[in-house]
Structure 1
């Protein structure tokens, strides 16, 4: 069994319950949306030759698919996730993932103090202080080890940008998280440099979002958690209606939905 226990991880997502944290949408994330990012996970694992010699920590690992793929390559994996429902789903994949507050759990192995690879695949889109999260990732990385940060590519390269804009337009008095806040050239690299990490490469990965029908597309997008402020402000019915309208241009002749997207990642090294 892959096991995980992390201490000292304190970064919390700013949105309150619901989203990927509600029981229904957490399962939608695990069953519908998470697989859309498999090309990103696989590209990073292949580039860094993740395998039996790798000790990997996923910060904000959600329901743990990236960890599961790394474990299948032989890596020793650990994770942290603030949403309880997502942690439960990760445990259903035989992964033990701690809460973001680092709660100790009886029966789990002693936590490592540092890892050869720390990944932040999704969490940067949710935190109000990304520099704090990156500093935490750096502090948990062994000397000579690597930190990987990932996020959306430029909005003009992402067809889902117009669909995500529903969250911004309906955010009301509380600004919604901007998934493209760190998509500008040099933004991720700047976060790494700010905590003393040394640039070691970057890449772009095509991650098309493909769904069998419009209902699955709506459920998948809602499961990202980026629409929580809009739902709290306007209710799920209105947000769902606007999502359906925004998704309409991407409905194919067979009623499936497909959006081309690009995600970007950077690799940084913890100096000796």
Structure 2
């Protein structure tokens, strides 16, 4: 019964926002990311910043920074921050936070908005799990890093350590024969490290961070997960209603008596150095 009620709530919101048109859906997804989902990765951001002692002497570039919470946290430590984000709706939210975030075209020198100045720390916190060409993303991160500076790559930890794995599997099952990527493709041992050599980077450490996904209710959980972008192929192939229904069913084991949802997850990061 709860699942049927929450499906109705989500569908009512979709109609109120003007149907399923992509522009309005994009704005809704961006706001759900900023208001619901983005905070789930704060332990990852803080662990990396603590390890690298981010502060006033650090220049941080967030590659695929989305609405910019990670940059805000770095700025609060005194760092100079900037970001690149391809989605206009997310950039708009970042600008509302007074962050300097430019559009990101195709990786490489022809990227248009890609800044030419290098930074002492380039982070790729969210972009890799859904990237069609992870190596190109890492190569671009290396290009924008000062000599002696650092690049940080992050991805999901082992699926057996992530309770969200079954929920994320909805994206794969409902994407049909589209090009939807496995969000755990880089989670195997050496998965992130294998990207470093091709970009001319030198490994300089790694770590795992607990990032539980906690939501006030089932509706918030569905909206937060959909905002990650990992379900876009599934929505386009199978439709919003079916994907929402299957997400609710997959989330049901993680419902608590008070109606909240909580899933234990682990994220992994690697630190690389730009050789002198």
Q: TM-score, normalised by structure 2?
A: 0.88
- More helix per residue: 2
Q: Is the 8 A contact 2:206 2:269 kept in 1?
A: yes
How many Å separate the matches in 2 of 1:175 and 1:169? 12
Contact 2:42–2:70 (Cα < 8 Å) also in 1: yes
After superposing on structure 2, the runs of 4+ consecutive aligned residues of structure 1 that deviate more than 3 Å are 17-21, 102-105
Map 1:96-175 onto structure 2 (within 5 A).
Answer: 96-101=100-105, 111=115, 113-175=117-179
Change (3 A) 1:18 1:145: farther
Cα deviation code 1:6-59 (max 9, x no counterpart): xxxxxxxxxxx9599700010000000000000000000010000000011110
Structure 2 counterpart of 1:221: 225
Instruction: Compute the displacement of 1:112 (Å).
Output: 5.3
Report how many residues are paired. Answer: 251
Distance 1:121 1:271 in 2: 21
Give, in angstroms, the shift of residue 175 of structure 1: 3.1
Aligned to 2:7: none
Q: Which moved more, 1:173-182 or 1:36-45?
A: 173-182
The whole-number CA distance in structure 2 between the counterparts of 1:25 and 1:78 is: 22
Structure 1: runs of 5+ lacking an equivalent = 1-16, 106-110
Structure 1 residue 200: Cα displacement:
0.6
2:81 and 2:100 in contact (8 A); partners too: no
Could you say what the CA RMSD is over the residues aligned between the two structures, in angstroms? Answer: 1.7
Shift of 1:180: 0.4
Q: CA deviation at 1:130?
A: 0.6
Normalising by the residue count of structure 1, what TM-score does the alignment of the two structures yield? 0.89
Q: Deviations over 1:203-232 (max 9, x none)?
A: 000000000100000000000111111111
Cα distance in 2, alignment partners of residues 218 and 265 from structure 1: 26
Work out whether 1:59 is the aligned partner of 2:59.
no
Closer, same or farther in 2 for the Cα pair 1:167/1:104, shift >3 Å? closer
Q: Is the Cα–Cα contact under 8 Å of residues 64 and 85 in structure 2 kept in the other structure?
A: yes
**Aligned-pair distance for 1:103?**
5.1
Higher relative contact order, structure no. (Cα contacts within 8 Å, ≥ 6 residues apart): 1
Distance 1:20 1:36 in 2: 24
